[in-house]
Amino acid sequence: MKNILVPLGLSENSVSIARLQYVIDFAKELGGTVYAVQVFKELPRSGSLPSVNKTLKGISVNTIEEKLNAVDKKGVTIIPLPLENDLLEAIPEFNLKHSIDLIVLGPESSDIKNPYFLGETSGSLLKKTEIPVLIIPENYAFKPITKVLMAIKSGIIKKQNTLSPIIEILNTFNAEMKLLQVKTSEFLPEDAEFQKDLAKLISSFKSSENGTLFQGVLEHLNENYPDLLCVFRRKRGFFAKLWEENTVLKKDFESRIPLLVLKGALRD
């Protein structure tokens, strides 16, 4: 994961500085470059001078630099990246040229009055991007990842390179990964088979029967005390209900440890 992108200021809470510091610490361990993104609204060409839009872009760079001055860069290469208008369109376009390996997002506020885990923009990015996403809880301080809990329904992996991010994390931190297979009402006999590349990564295995994968995860988090929770984004199964809306409610899913969502489906 050499190129890591972190959008700043997606929500009104003040977690972007803490999240940016986590990203820097994480990138230092992996030897990666951080792209710190701030969106600016470019004025219509017909009604504005090019110099005005250039100024807006410069203001966005200054805003990023102000946030970078509040963190310890630790020698990591950090590139201020002002992107025009729509983040959901700008990131895929940027990715085509620079091959982003990971997007780091933050959840909405942990305030009990806020019902959302992910807001409109963050939820849309998680839903629509093919880039792996790492979600860092509010004010979560970086620490080496020694234990990973991967939660799945199916052990079948169809897409190439799906496991590359978690393999790199396991190798970088010399971490161990426990696999939790949650058998729901949709469980099929072939789901019990494990793709060999996945099987090689597992230090231990456990299965449980639950109504949803989320319920199974909640039951086993306190038992395993992982530093990272890893799941797969699927067209059906986990997150299936969440695809109906761009926002994600806390009652449907929430993680208080870093959550890595790998791209692609296991079984569509």
- The pLDDT of residue 6 is 92
Q: What is the pLDDT of residue 249?
A: 60
Residue whose C-alpha is closest to residue 167's, from 221, 225, 220, 230: 230
Superfamily (CATH H level) for 147-262: HUPs (3.40.50.620)
Q: Above 70 in pLDDT, residue 98?
A: yes
Average pLDDT value over all residues in the chain: 78
Q: Residues 258, 134: contact at Cβ < 8 Å? A: yes
Question: In this predicted structure, what is the pLDDT of residue 46?
Answer: 46
Q: What is the mean pLDDT of residues 32-61?
A: 66
DSSP code per residue over 196-230: HHHHTTEEEEEEEE-SSHHHHHHHHHHHH--SEEE
Any idea where the domains of the chain sit in the sequence? 3-135, 147-262
Structure tokens at 259: 């959550």
What is the model's pLDDT at position 3? 95
CB contact at 8 A, 240 and 119: no
Asked if 169 and 175 count as a contact pair (C-beta separation under 8 A), the reply is yes
Please check the confidence at residue 144 and state whether its pLDDT lies above 80. yes
| Whether residue 95 has pLDDT greater than 50 | yes
For residue 71, the one-letter residue type is V
Pick the CATH number of 3-135 from 3.40.50.620, 3.30.420.40, 2.120.10.80, 3.30.750.24: 3.40.50.620
The DSSP output letter for 7 is E
The pTM (predicted TM-score) of the whole model is 0.84
Q: How confident is the model at residue 266 (pLDDT cuts 50, 70, 90)?
A: very low
Percent of the chain with pLDDT over 70: 74
